[in-house]
């Protein structure tokens, strides 16, 4: 059988709703400046590396046994971190964790959506949300955002518009990224409250993957958890904690909701090493989070400098900026790549998303951008 025959046969056997779809695939290119997936540019500090190695050394002899299915110690540490950072009493029984927040979000969709049910988000938003719907046979509902015409309000959500959409579509699960990806702005708590009230049977998930980067005074939806058993707040160690490779995401919700997620997880889904590495990281949370302020400064620098170049910047509470005003975003993406800087073309006409890296990486991006936009050099 030839390769093309095999491909044709596999396509024929594939679920019809998956045929012709393409997989999630931000390019992983080996270029000097990688600012395309919102990773933290700072390597894990040596002190934390040593603690991780020690933790793995201690647990390795027991790898003949399955991990603690309930990740009890990790759950306690995560509850402690949320309690310390939010000032709210978050109990270990309110915590669920997985291999990245993508997994815990998928658990929510598996448990509360699925065939005959629906998942809704307000787009542009995180590109994985429709994939959760696709992979679980859930109906995808594409909500919209947009308060004003300019880039400063175009991607905002107001309480009434969000509430009207969920009242109309009656989704089973609503996902709201705040700060939103790829646009960067946090959603007001009034929006979350309005959605929760307008969809009395929906699970409302607030995806706070970038919460630690939010501008001062931006409240977390953790403050809304009390008395709202259908509310879920997800977090990740992939961004602020500089642990994308560790694959550890988690959520906080009512213990009854957390309990329901046990029905859909694979047995022993969090490996012994994942639990050990995450605990070592959490024990050094202050050190790992130390670069957050430096990253926020580079983010604000990008906003200021691209605006000075005549481009637009969406206000950002995250570790990235959505830059607009390109006449041909794909061409500009390629020109930046040719200069050794990888950013993200998120498919929004005229826009590119750039992660705030180290000061040197940010300088490299801005210089490449300036050269690309220089009069006579190239069309913007
Ligand atoms: C990066 C990101 C995540 C985190 O994914 P992990 O699986 O935890 O690495 C979740 N939500 C959004 C919106 C993101 O941008």
* Rounded distance between C-alpha atoms, residue 191 and residue 165, angstroms: 12
What global pTM score does this model have?
0.95
* pLDDT score for 375: 72
| Nearest to 173, CA basis, from 139, 137, 126 | 139
**What is the torsional sign of CA 39, 44, 48, 52?**
positive
Return the residue whose CA atom lies nearest to atom 1 of ligand 1.
209
Chain centroid to Cα 104, Å, comes to 12
Backbone angles phi, psi at 256, to 5 degrees: -65, -40
Nearest atom (ligand 1) to Cα of 207:
11
Q: Mind listing the pLDDT tens digit for each residue in 123-176?
A: 999 999 999 999 999 999 999 998 877 877 889 999 999 999 999 999 999 999
Residue 280 Cα to ligand 1 midpoint, Å, equals 21
Residue 102 Cα to ligand 1 midpoint, Å, equals 6
| Residue linked to tokens 């058993």 | 229
| Nearest to 103, CA basis, from 77, 131, 81, 78 | 131
Residue 78 Cα to ligand 1 midpoint, Å, equals 17
Question: How do strand 139-144 and strand 118-123 relate by DSSP bridges?
Answer: parallel
Residue 375 Cα to ligand 1 midpoint, Å, equals 38
> What is the CA angle 120-230-157, rounded to 5?
45
Cross-strand bridge partners of residue 233: 206, 252
Residue 55 DSSP code: H
Q: Mind listing the pLDDT tens digit for each residue in 340-355?
A: 999 999 999 999 999 9
**What is the torsional sign of CA 181, 183, 186, 189?**
negative
* pLDDT score for 148: 75
Q: What is the rounded average pLDDT for all residues in the chain?
A: 95
Residue 306 DSSP code: H
Chain centroid to Cα 162, Å, comes to 20
Contact 146, 156 (CB under 8 A): yes
Tell me the mean pLDDT in the region 205-220.
Answer: 96
Reply yes or no: is the peptide bond before residue 332 cis, omega within 30 of 0.
no
What residues line ligand 1, using a CB cutoff of 6 Å? 38, 100-102, 126, 177, 181, 207, 209, 236, 238-239, 244, 249
Out of 26, 126, 209, mutate this one to test ligand 1's pocket (max ligand atoms within 8 Å of CB): namely 209
Nearest atom (ligand 1) to Cα of 102:
7
Out of 36, 124, 236, mutate this one to test ligand 1's pocket (max ligand atoms within 8 Å of CB): namely 236
Tell me the mean pLDDT in the region 75-83.
Answer: 98
Per-residue pLDDT at 359 exceeds 80: yes
Residue 282 Cα to ligand 1 midpoint, Å, equals 18
Tell me the mean pLDDT in the region 22-41.
Answer: 89
* pLDDT score for 376: 61
Tell me the mean pLDDT in the region 247-276.
Answer: 98
Residues in the chain: 380
Tell me the mean pLDDT in the region 290-303.
Answer: 96
């Amino acid at each position: 059988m030839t390769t093309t025959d095999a491909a044709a046969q596999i396509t024929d056997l594939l679920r019809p709703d998956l045929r012709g779809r393409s997989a999630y695939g931000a390019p992983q290119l080996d270029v000097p400046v990688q600012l395309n997936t919102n990773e933290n540019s700072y390597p894990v500090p040596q002190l934390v590396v040593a603690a991780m190695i020690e933790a793995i050394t201690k647990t390795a002899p027991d790898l003949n046994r399955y991990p603690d299915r309930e990740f009890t110690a990790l759950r306690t540490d995560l509850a402690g971190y949320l309690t310390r950072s939010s000032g709210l009493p978050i109990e270990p029984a309110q915590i669920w964790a997985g291999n990245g927040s993508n997994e815990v979000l998928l658990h929510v969709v598996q448990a509360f959506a699925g065939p005959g049910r629906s998942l809704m988000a307000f787009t542009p938003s995180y590109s994985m949300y429709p994939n959760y719907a696709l992979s679980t046979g859930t109906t995808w509902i594409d909500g919209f955002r947009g308060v004003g015409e300019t880039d400063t309000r175009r991607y905002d959500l107001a309480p009434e518009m969000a509430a009207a959409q969920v009242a109309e579509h009656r989704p089973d699960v609503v996902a709201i990224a705040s700060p939103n990806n790829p646009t960067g702005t946090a959603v007001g708590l009034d929006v979350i409250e309005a959605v929760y009230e307008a969809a009395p049977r929906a699970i409302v998930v607030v995806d706070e993957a970038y919460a630690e980067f939010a501008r001062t005074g931006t409240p977390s939806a953790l403050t809304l958890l009390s008395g709202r058993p259908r509310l879920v707040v997800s977090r990740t160690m992939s961004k602020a904690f500089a642990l994308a490779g560790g694959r550890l995401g988690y959520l906080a919700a009512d213990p009854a909701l957390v309990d329901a997620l046990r029905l859909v997880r694979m047995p022993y889904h969090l490996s012994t090493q994942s639990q050990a590495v995450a605990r070592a990281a959490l024990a050094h949370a202050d050190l790992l989070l130390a670069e957050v302020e430096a990253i926020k400064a580079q983010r604000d620098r990008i906003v200021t400098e691209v605006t000075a170049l005549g481009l637009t910047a969406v206000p950002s509470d995250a570790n990235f900026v959505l830059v607009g005003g390109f006449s041909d975003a794909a061409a500009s993406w390629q020109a930046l790549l040719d200069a050794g800087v990888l950013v993200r073309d998120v498919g929004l006409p005229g826009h590119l998303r750039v992660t705030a890296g180290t000061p040197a990486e940010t300088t490299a991006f801005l210089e490449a951008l300036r050269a690309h936009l220089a009069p006579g050099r190239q069309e913007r």
